A = this chain, B = another copy of it.
Amino acid sequence: MSKLVPPHGGKGLTICLLEGKDREAELKKAAKLVKIEISAQAKGDLIMMGIGGFSPLTGFMTKDDWKSVCEKLTLADGTFWPVPVMLSCSADDAHKIKYGDEIALERKGEIYATMQVTEKFPLTEAEKKWECEKVYKGEGADSQGDFMAVALKDHPGVQMVMARKEFCLAGPVKVLSEGEYPEKYKGIYIRPAELRAMMEKKGWSKVAALQLRNPMHRSHEFLAKIAVEVCDGVVIHSLIGNLKPGDIPAEVRVKCIDTLVEKYFVKDHVIQAGYPLDMRYAGPREALLHATFRQNYGVNNMLIGRDHAGVGDFYGLFEAQTIFDKIPYATEEAKCGVEPGKALLCQPMKIDWTFYCFKCDGMASLRTCPHGKDDRVVLSGTKLRKMLSEGGEIPDHFGRNEVLDILREYYSGLTEKVEIKMQGAAAGTAMK
């Protein structure tokens, strides 16, 4: 029997992906169905349902589930779930679809799934705003004045909710494509069942995941290594879906991690993998989502650092940690009483603000280092990006040189592209 944590929801991995002949037959059928163009976010959500990453979800949410998730962080049946997973369509499309219809879900000409529509409901602007306030508004937001006014301008997650079309469709899906991921991220894009098999082979049972959407710096390495000291191993689990503009693309990040793993980790205790979701930037709620789908990947400890899944100043630096104390979450004691599967089993591994400290003579955090600001090398990701793209000197101990070299190369490439673009524009020819 596997020693890994069971998938969330008590039903094993709920795999919605068809393969081989089943897939071919379904694709043939799909060609004749009404087609709905889906968002990038919905594509990622679909692939996760396909591979069991969103177990126990097997389709987009009903209005009852949506309301319950927003309000109570559980599906209508009481199973823990922190963030709505919605499929929207225009009023025009909605009028073409009847209850029980099968439809095809496509994006940019590729069919990602078929779906049997079991529910069709409008979500008004007011309801979407309510969702944003419930899901995306942090605890400190009351002092932020008009949250929605600011968020509409600056919060990419809120913008995605508000950009959803008038109607939502719910119902079970059959997933027909994993998009570009298996090809583009070969060896990195690993399905939950595959990751579980790898970890079982290694004999792991206590496993931590490090969520990454930025290049892996020493702070991230430090988090991962704390986990390795106290767990069987760590999964460095990168988001390989879409980010906001200006963030560093997954290929570059994966290359950085490759190098770090190669030069600074013990192979027996680390796995690099990626998952196909887009960022929602929902801060605390997204941290819970990260823990929830990590459980499906066989992970029972989710590293949560500073401002996990946050954006701008929308969340308190440690709100994504404290929210774990407030959820219907299966602590060791509670587990005996809780209905199996309904509560989250993946626990947070909360780490404070980390940095290199000269007096400590190594990496430390605010929990372990009593020294002063001047003893520490602190550099925000934003500052680092600026230094790297402007070719500035990076302070000692901040990063690993091998990683910084990759980032310098990436940024110099960006600069070249911009220069070529400008030259082209100057010469009166448009670059594409």
Pick the interface stretch among A32-40, A221-229, A243-251, A288-296: A221-229
Closest Cβ–Cβ distance, residue A56 to chain B (whole Å): 21
Main secondary structure of the interface of A (DSSP, over half): mixed
With contacts A332-B335, A336-B335, A336-B336 known, is A366 near B230, CB below 8 A? Answer: no
Q: Which residues of B contact A364 (CB under 8 A)?
A: 225
Closest Cβ–Cβ distance, residue A207 to chain B (whole Å): 14
Q: In the bound complex, what is the Cα–Cα distance between A362 and B369 (angstroms)?
A: 14
Query: Which chain A residues (246-277) contact chain B, with CB distance < 8 Å?
Result: 263-267, 269
Q: Give the number of chain A interface residues (Cβ < 8 Å).
A: 31
> Is there an interface contact between A226 and B228, defined as CB atoms closer than 8 Å?
no
Counting CB contacts under 8 A, is A349 at the interface?
yes
Q: Which residues of B contact A266 (CB under 8 A)?
A: 366-370
> Is there an interface contact between A264 and B362, defined as CB atoms closer than 8 Å?
no
Counting CB contacts under 8 A, is A351 at the interface?
yes
Residue in B267, B367, B370 whose CB lies within 8 Å of A264: B370
> Is there an interface contact between B229 and A365, defined as CB atoms closer than 8 Å?
yes
Q: In the bound complex, what is the Cα–Cα distance between A367 and B226 (angstroms)?
A: 10
Counting CB contacts under 8 A, is A363 at the interface?
yes
Q: In the bound complex, what is the Cα–Cα distance between A361 and B399 (angstroms)?
A: 11
Which of A230, A359, A369, A397 counts the most chain B CB atoms within 10 A?
A: A230
Q: In the bound complex, what is the Cα–Cα distance between A230 and B363 (angstroms)?
A: 15
Q: In the bound complex, what is the Cα–Cα distance between A267 and B364 (angstroms)?
A: 15
Q: Which residues of B contact A363 (CB under 8 A)?
A: 362
Q: In the bound complex, what is the Cα–Cα distance between A351 and B397 (angstroms)?
A: 25
Closest Cβ–Cβ distance, residue A398 to chain B (whole Å): 11
Q: Which residues of B contact A264 (CB under 8 A)?
A: 359-360, 370
Q: Which residues of B contact A362 (CB under 8 A)?
A: 356, 361-363
Q: Name the residue on B nearest A366 (C-beta).
A: B266
Residue in B225, B335, B370 whose CB lies within 8 Å of A267: B370
Closest Cβ–Cβ distance, residue A326 to chain B (whole Å): 16
Q: In the bound complex, what is the Cα–Cα distance between A228 and B367 (angstroms)?
A: 7
Residue in B229, B332, B335, B336 whose CB lies within 8 Å of A368: B229
Q: Which residues of B contact A335 (CB under 8 A)?
A: 332, 336
With contacts A230-B349, A336-B335 known, is A367 near B397, CB below 8 A? Answer: no
Closest Cβ–Cβ distance, residue A61 to chain B (whole Å): 31
30 interchain pairs (CB within 8 A)? A225-B364, A225-B368, A226-B226, A226-B230, A228-B368, A229-B351, A229-B352, A229-B365, A229-B367, A230-B230, A230-B349, A230-B351, A263-B370, A264-B359, A265-B368, A265-B370, A266-B366, A266-B367, A266-B368, A266-B369, A266-B370, A267-B370, A269-B367, A269-B368, A332-B332, A332-B335, A336-B336, A356-B362, A361-B397, A362-B363
A positions within 8 Å CB-CB of B: 225-226, 228-230, 263-267, 269, 332, 335-336, 349, 351-352, 356, 359-370, 397
Please provide the 7 A-B residue pairs with the shortest distance between their CB atoms, ordered closest to farther: A362-B362, A336-B336, A225-B368, A332-B332, A266-B370, A226-B229, A228-B368
